[in-house]
Amino acid sequence: MSKAQIFAGRIDELQHLSSCLHRAVDGEPNVVLIQGSAGVGKSALLEVFRERAARREKAGWVFHVGPRAEGAYQPISQAAVLATNKQAYDRLGGRRKAMESARELLPGWLSAIPVVGNLIAAVTATLQILRRNRRPAQAVAQAPDDAGEALLSAAASHPLVLLLDDLHQADEDAVEQVERVIRALRRGHKLLLVVTYRPTPPGVEDPPIQRMIRSLPGDALERRVLRELSEPELEIWLNRRFPHIVVPPPFLHWLYGRTGGHPAALEVTVQQLLDRSMIRFADRHWQIAAEAVERDDSIDDSPAEIDLGHVQPATAAVLRAASAFGDEFNGADVARSTGHDELYIEDQLATAAHYKLVRVIGETVDGDGEVATLYRFASSHLRVSLARLPADLQSSPPVG
């Protein structure tokens, strides 16, 4: 998808990030962690925000870093190369001054090679020397520390926006490097750090990013869950994908009900409908075959369609507990009712959202000022079916 076709929607999230950027520019560092399922639009959100922030005069330097096609994902090191290279060449200018700045910011890297030149070449040559000499692992680990110090040094004097995409793909050392940067942030650092990651998949226990979240103080970062597109946002998505085609409200409502506004599901569903000639364009309007609507309308009303066999027992148990609160509920109430840690409950509900069993609809604040995520069951029939389960089956996945 070209940049012109990128659509993130979620204006509320973009506005929130803009507010965080305002605070960061004023010397109040902000760290935002955004969780979202595969294909929900995390990368698109970061890219749209990057373009917006880059156009703002006071935003400073804005870097969007993601996993590479080859090699380990080292987001802090990659960001440091971008930041220090930009400072050396865009701000100072000239070969001599550039190297002086780079020496100050990355002494560990530059002392390993006796040449003066482009910082990217310096990093590459350093790694080659370390591999050739087979130096111990702890010597290589020193470079990420220097990278973190370089970013903090840059953020101390200049606004800096770091967008780290898909941190769940980074290994433990790389995640610990991110954690060290967050712990070192102080008032006066003009840094906005935004991290995206996926929920913990079933069968994976305690991944590095979840350990990082637990180990950091609660006020060190803000956690958010990226919701699916709303129905009005879905209409915008369709208008951009198929310009000059009028979207009738019944078709829009049907498509939203089928996909829940999940961008990846939208892509697949629309393409399948086009491929199977279930939708077509007539007089610049969308039309959908009656058999497709009839087949889809039976989903919510048929008990046979409600099956949690693909969901882990722990997630099914959390969903059953949530069913006692009605069609809409929040994670904090479920945590209190089950005695589980709220982070554990949020992880299970994120998995349920991935399977379209529940949907994130917003946030609520309790009397103590604590923020909790609001959810809604995908259908009332699902919620009622879960609530009717016998107590001894609460951890059993099949429902229906």
Contacts of 39 (CB under 8 A, 6+ apart): 262, 263, 264, 265, 267
Q: What is the pLDDT of residue 97?
A: 45
CATH of domain 3-225: 3.40.50.300
As a whole number of angstroms, the distance between CA 88 and CA 85 comes to: 5
Contacts of 66 (CB under 8 A, 6+ apart): 43, 73, 164, 165, 166
Question: What is the residue-level pLDDT of the chain in tens, covering all 400 positions?
Answer: 444 457 888 999 999 999 999 999 999 999 999 999 888 999 999 999 999 888 876 768 899 999 988 888 999 989 988 877 655 444 444 444 444 544 444 444 444 334 444 445 544 444 444 444 443 434 333 333 678 888 998 899 889 999 999 999 999 999 999 999 999 999 999 999 999 999 888 778 889 999 999 999 988 999 999 999 999 998 888 888 887 777 778 888 888 888 888 888 888 888 878 877 777 777 777 776 644 444 444 333 333 334 455 567 888 889 888 888 888 888 888 988 888 888 888 888 888 887 788 888 877 776 666 777 889 888 766 776 676 554 433 333 333 3
Q: What is the pLDDT of residue 223?
A: 94
Q: What is the pLDDT of residue 267?
A: 84
Q: What is the pLDDT of residue 150?
A: 87
CATH of domain 306-393: 1.10.10.10
Q: What is the pLDDT of residue 86?
A: 56
Question: Is residue 218 exposed (0-12), middle (13-18) or buried (19+ Cβ within 10 Å)?
Answer: exposed
* Phi, psi (degrees; rounded to nearest 5) at 205: -105, 125
Please state the pTM of the whole predicted model: 0.59
Q: What is the pLDDT of residue 342?
A: 85
Q: What is the pLDDT of residue 167?
A: 94
Q: What is the pLDDT of residue 227?
A: 92
Q: What is the pLDDT of residue 82?
A: 84
* Longest Cα–Cα distance in the chain: 75
- SS3 track for 142-154: HHHHHHHHHHHHH
Q: What is the pLDDT of residue 218?
A: 85
As a whole number of angstroms, the distance between CA 20 and CA 28 comes to: 9
Q: Hey, how many other C-beta atoms are within 10 angstroms of the C-beta on 270?
A: 18
Q: What is the pLDDT of residue 363?
A: 76
